[in-house]
Amino acid sequence: MKLFLTRFSQMLVLTFIFSFLVSPCFSQDQEKPNIILIMADDIGISDIGCYGSEIETPNIDQLATGGMRFTTFYNMAKCNPTRSSLLTGLYQGGKGAVHLAQLTKQAGYFNIMSGKEHFDSWIPDYCKAENVFDHSFYFWATTEYFLPPSGKFERPFYLEGVEIPASQIEHEISPMYKTDFITDYALKWLDEASQGDDPFFLYLPYHAAHYPLQARPEDIAKYRNTYRQGWELLRNERFNKMKELGVLPPGTKLSPPENNNNKFRGPLKPSYTDYYKWDSLSENQKDSLDLEMAVFAAIIDRMDQNIGRVLSHLEKTGTLENTLILFLVDNGSCPFYSNKIPDVQPGPADSYWSLRTSWANLGNTPYRQYKQCGHEGGSHTPFIAFWPGKITPNTITHQPGHVVDIAPTFLDILDIQYPKTIEDYQTIPLHGTSLLPVFKGEQRTEPDYFMSGLDKFRMFRSGDYKIVRMNGGEWELYKITQDPSETRNLASTLPEVVKNMDTKYRKVMNNLEN
């Protein structure tokens, strides 16, 4: 890995120098790029090194150094709606939705998927992995990290659409660990892709760092005692680092810590869902909580190691220079209490421990609230685009984007037309707009609106303002371009703005549903 990072760093230096001599060129006559779309799971914006974390993510950081970081990039605030919108370019749809891999197949790509599949019910069957990828290994939603499963929580794995037992999953390292064998399958099929002439599209949706908190002992040991200083101090350190790195929108303040106020994510247990001061804890409690966060960090570290394996393969096969790599997260950090938690400490295969609110609040620094919520802590996560010779290295953009923008970006890059029909259905027009102008360093026309959060936690952003609600309550209003961390609710002072935003939101939803 060190050898790869050295070579990769040399390539980035040369690319960086070249970018000053020649503006990035996007000629349609050039060879189509390979595309890798990497998605992480339940990770806050500040949990990645290049966005302010103390967690070591050197490979993701190298993508940022060699590419572009977005300071404001939205998802749908939960696993299944984010994946549904990401892979179709629709906030909501049905028959007539088109999967990204159907677009790349139309453009002559070899399609590969290895990882988590989790969709809303509106996704048609023809968009499922076995129907759109040439090779696929996947599982539905949550499964344990270590295999064979302990029996506490089991869901099947599928290879090429056929269910397989854990004993038949190919793996290079024992004991079996999900992040590792997800990558094993991806590398196996990348080897096959390197033998052909077609460009490839790899969709790599990791499960990391979704609960349960299970990690390899050597990865945990790396972070043990890192978190004994407590979440208040670390949150301030991360916020200051984020400001130094330039990965915060202008005017961002550090929001006050708060409880997980989601009344629909239960059962609620105060020790998990309430925020409390670190100094109020005993030494034994601090040690247990240090372990909890160390395991979470270890899960992210292991994911980064595996991303390094993919990058090393690209360099070895000479395909890195013509590969667009996108890294994103499905939603912000998740404080979740499961009734399966208590007895076994986090880390081993028989633990079902989950991250609590106070650590999730650290991950979502400097924003408010958590997974499922349309507040920025749930809906606003990292997005990195790396494309040698096309994207100027080490750039940061404050232009907002959304996962629905990925599909129109693919169309631009693939230089194809969106199909008029799919499986005998008329296609649904895409809801986003291309990010290619942003990749070029240009100013794109901002979409008319962005939307995120589950229905009772919906957010709707348009222009300078954003409305958002908690638990199905009244709209809150923020001038999001001036108050990115949502510290000043303007709903009572600007009721007409709330009314106009609500009217616009209802019109959008009516159009989506009809």
Tell me, what CATH number does 485's domain have?
3.30.1120.10
**Does 476 lie in the same domain as 434?**
no
> Torsions phi, psi of 40, nearest 5?
-100, 175
Has residue 451 been placed in a domain?
A: no
**Does 151 lie in the same domain as 88?**
yes
pLDDT recorded at residue 272: 81
pLDDT recorded at residue 352: 84
Total domains in the chain come to 2
Has residue 340 been placed in a domain?
A: yes
Range of the structural domain that residue 293 is part of? 2-22+33-446
Of 446, 466, 490, which residue constitutes the final position of a domain? 446
Nearest residue to 147 via CA among 353, 352, 350: 350
pLDDT recorded at residue 30: 63
**Does 235 lie in the same domain as 115?**
yes
**Does 489 lie in the same domain as 419?**
no
Q: How many whole angstroms separate alpha carbon 82 and alpha carbon 92? A: 11
Quote the strand ranges of 58-121, DSSP E. Answer: 68-70, 73-74, 110-117
Q: 3-state class of 370 per DSSP?
A: coil
Nearest residue to 87 via CA among 4, 189, 240, 204: 204
Mind listing the pLDDT tens digit for each residue in 236-281? Answer: 999 999 999 999 999 999 999 988 888 887 666 777 888 889 999 9
Of 446, 470, 490, which residue constitutes the final position of a domain? 446
**Does 146 lie in the same domain as 81?**
yes
Determine if the peptide bond prior to 148 is cis (ω within 30°). Answer: yes
**Does 124 lie in the same domain as 72?**
yes
**Does 437 lie in the same domain as 505?**
no
**Does 473 lie in the same domain as 418?**
no
pLDDT recorded at residue 270: 79
Of 406, 425, 446, which residue constitutes the final position of a domain? 446
pLDDT digit string (tens) for the chain, length 514 residues: 544 455 555 555 544 444 444 444 444 446 899 999 999 999 999 999 999 999 999 999 999 999 999 999 999 999 999 999 999 999 999 999 999 999 999 999 999 999 999 999 999 999 999 999 999 999 987 778 998 765 555 678 999 999 998 889 999 999 999 999 999 999 999 999 999 899 999 999 999 999 899 999 999 999 999 999 999 999 999 999 999 999 999 999 999 998 888 888 766 677 788 888 999 999 999 999 999 999 999 999 999 999 999 999 999 999 999 999 999 999 999 887 666 555 688 999 888 888 999 999 999 999 999 999 999 999 999 999 999 999 999 999 999 999 999 999 999 999 999 999 999 999 999 999 999 999 999 999 999 999 999 999 999 999 999 999 999 999 999 999 999 999 999 999 999 999 999 999 999 999 998 8
Has residue 452 been placed in a domain?
A: no
Q: How many whole angstroms separate alpha carbon 126 and alpha carbon 162? A: 16
- Centroid of chain to Cα 237: 23
Mind listing the pLDDT tens digit for each residue in 380-432? Answer: 999 999 999 999 999 999 999 999 999 999 999 999 999 999 999 999 999 99
**Does 207 lie in the same domain as 166?**
yes
**Does 233 lie in the same domain as 332?**
yes
Task: Specify the DSSP class assigned to residue 53.
Answer: -
**Does 439 lie in the same domain as 465?**
no
pTM of this prediction?
0.94
pLDDT recorded at residue 351: 87
> Torsions phi, psi of 439, nearest 5?
-60, -35
Q: How many whole angstroms separate alpha carbon 400 and alpha carbon 435? A: 10
Provide the CATH number for the domain around residue 230: 3.40.720.10
**Does 419 lie in the same domain as 318?**
yes
Q: How many whole angstroms separate alpha carbon 411 and alpha carbon 402? A: 16
Has residue 372 been placed in a domain?
A: yes
pLDDT recorded at residue 271: 79
Mind listing the pLDDT tens digit for each residue in 132-144? Answer: 999 999 998 777 8
DSSP string, 221-269: HHHTTTTTT-HHHHHHHHHHHHHHHT-S-TT--PPPP-----TTS-S--
pLDDT recorded at residue 154: 66
